[in-house]
Structures are given as structure tokens and as C-alpha cells.
Amino acid sequence: MFETDCLEQWVEQYRGEFSKGKCAAYIPALKEADPTQLGICMMGPDGQISRAGNYDAPFTLQSISKVIIYLAACTHHGIANVLEQVGEHRSCLDL
């Protein structure tokens, strides 16, 4: 697992990256989000927790939840079974 000091350095190194983009104003939860917050919290297989930055700040998952659900479905049903049922839609091409 990562050392907390290492994670703190990483958070501080990349915290300034928020100025290179902006939160999506058309999504209410993101419109209200503080783009300066950056945090990470990880738990290793041994249960050890490493955390840094604004790890305890509430946040909205938005599209990343699709990845989490996809991984859960593949774990539970198997990749081949999921791929038989799930297609793809590249929403970025619809802009």
C-alpha cells in the first residue's frame, strides 16, 4: 500500500491541475462542486487504509459509477456474459 506521505506529496503536486479545466455547469451537482478539492483514499487487500488531501469531502460519482458497476457485473457474471448483453455508446461523440 502507498505511504500516506507519498500520497500527500502526490495530492499537493497535482492539486493545481484544477485550473486547466472547469466543472460541467449543466450538471447541477458539478455546478456546485469545489474544483480545488482533491483527495484519495485507498484500502489494500490487508485492510490497511492510506489517505491524503480532501479524502473525506463529499463528492458526486457521475459517469465513473458506470465503471464501478461494469466491474461488479463482470466479477459477478463473467466478462463474456456481460459483453453479450452490454454494448457501447461513446457519449463524447454526441457533443
Cell of 49: 487504509
Give tens-digit pLDDT for 33-67. 888 889 999 888 899 999 999 999 988 888 888 88
* 7 and 50 together in one domain: yes
How many domains is the chain built from? 2
**What rounded mean pLDDT belongs to the chain?**
86
* 45 and 78 together in one domain: no
* 43 and 71 together in one domain: no
pTM equals 0.61
Res. 19: pLDDT tops 80: no
* 26 and 3 together in one domain: yes
Domain that holds residue 76: 61-94
